[in-house]
Copies of this chain bind each other. A is one copy, B any other.
Amino acid sequence: MIKPNIETFIGCEADFDEATTVIFGAPFDSTVSYRPGSRFGPAAIRHESYGIEIYSPYQDKELEDFKICDSGDIELPFGAPDTALDMITERSREIAGNGKIPVMLGGEHLVTLGQLRALNDKYPKIHVIQFDAHSDLRDDYLGVKLSHACVMRRAFELSNVEMIHQFCIRSGEKTEFEFASENTDMHKFNSEGLDEVVNQLSDGTPVYLTIDLDCLDPSCMPGTGTPEAGGINFTELLNAVVKIGKLNIIGADINELAPNLDTSGQSTALACKLLRELLIAIQK
């Protein structure tokens, strides 16, 4: 019998109701100041995922060992960040409200705010772990408060976000680094210090993981809006994700893949693999 052409991330074919984890895409990039294109990230990850396997030799598990639902992309209005964030919050709330873990695929980093707003309503004392080349701590960008350059500053202002642990940061205005020294737990350049953070949070603290793919060195992630030399490699990020996955993860996102900026496809292939490892790592 001929059935409809359902396209999901490989190995994530559970129904919403039975799933413990739900993927969705937030294809929005209206506020990026430099090179747009992350709007194409979620579809590319989904589409190219048939080039990888469902089995992880790193964690010796298969995606199909778990119940994961890929709920597709939200259709977001370009040029209207307020509305877009509201729509993301609504989706995250629906997922988290059903006791499932939402895993969002950006889009620009601003989309993280939409998801965090939903979780902020549900969980107390959230710790955010951020992998990113940029601190994203500006108060505004050309007067605009809802910008990808400000997303962590907005996250910082949420009532239940207790601490932001930042890793791999190697770019920003001087004032952002000054703000960080007062207000966040910033680890420059790489993932040094992660073990201590993981150890500290291993008591069941609700943890949100946001991965801006430009934390990686541009040699392995050229397909991103603002490539920033001097990042970590895939293995270092993979190890970090596996460690963090053991914590009480309440939600996660992978963002800023701009697939068309890397015609070789290595960036998208890496993102697919990272998502597989993340999805397996956070299963209990």
Contacts and interface: CB of A to CB of B under 8 A. Distances in A.
Interface in A143-194: 143-144, 146-147, 169-174, 177, 188-189
Q: How many copies does the complex hold?
A: 6
Interface in A185-228: 188-189, 217-220, 222-223, 226-228
A248 to B, nearest CB: 24
A29 interface: yes
B94 A2 contact: yes
A273 interface: yes
A67 interface: no
| Interface residue range, chain A | 35 or more
A173 to B, nearest CB: 6
Interface string A1-13: 1111111100000
B53 A172 contact: yes
Contacts of A171: 52-53, 57
Interface in A220-263: 220, 222-223, 226-230, 233-235, 238, 261-263
A77 interface: yes
Contacts of A72: 2-5
Given A36-B39, A47-B47, A142-B75, A222 B265 contact: yes
A43 interface: yes
A196 B220 CA distance: 31
Given A34-B51, A53-B173, A263-B263, A146 B79 contact: yes
A234 B261 contact: no
A55 interface: yes
